[in-house]
Copies of this chain bind each other. A is one copy, B any other.
Amino acid sequence: AEAPCRDAVTREVCRGVGRLLRALSFAVINELPLPNGRRADVVGLSPSGDIWIVEVKSCLEDLRVDAKWPEYREFSDALFFAVAPDFPQAVLPGDTGLILADRYGAEIVRQAPETRLAAARRKAMTLRFARAAAFTLQGLVDPSLENS
């Protein structure tokens, strides 16, 4: 019963975060699969190649079931949580960035500590981002491709 609501919140927060990152000159994609089998909710790529990961939490339960969120740190220069304004922020970890978002926009409430990626990891993540974005785009532009 909770899932549809949770999905809607996640979608709206993702949209607001996307707009914020874009305004900061980041290119953004959603749902990027990582080498460890997890999926990053929002990934931003700056003009100079910095990689930010933003994990969206729609509700307390969503946070509680995700014990492995620190793993995202290994794949980003900066890790944020993003939540809707009515989320109880006190329960969120303090050593990540924090973004408040709704469907229209978002705001960075706390900057993320910088955890610089090593060159090889950055290269692999950039390639992963590039290919995921292009595959999704090509699927939209030429849908029959999916079945060919």
Within 8 Å by CB of A138, from B27, B127, B134, B142, lies: B27
Question: Helix, strand, loop or mixed for chain A's interface?
Answer: helix
Q: How many copies does the complex hold?
A: 2
- A22 and B129 contact, CB distance less than 8 A: no
- A131 and B47 contact, CB distance less than 8 A: yes
Query: What is the interface of chain A, defined by CB distance below 8 A to chain B?
Result: 15, 18-19, 22, 27-29, 45, 47, 49, 123, 126-127, 129-138, 140, 142, 145, 148
CB contacts (< 8 Å) of A138 on chain B: these are 18, 22, 27-29
- A145 and B19 contact, CB distance less than 8 A: yes
CB distance from A67 to the nearest CB of B (A): 30
Between A49, A123, A130, A148, the greatest number of chain B beta carbons within 10 A of the residue's beta carbon is seen for: A130
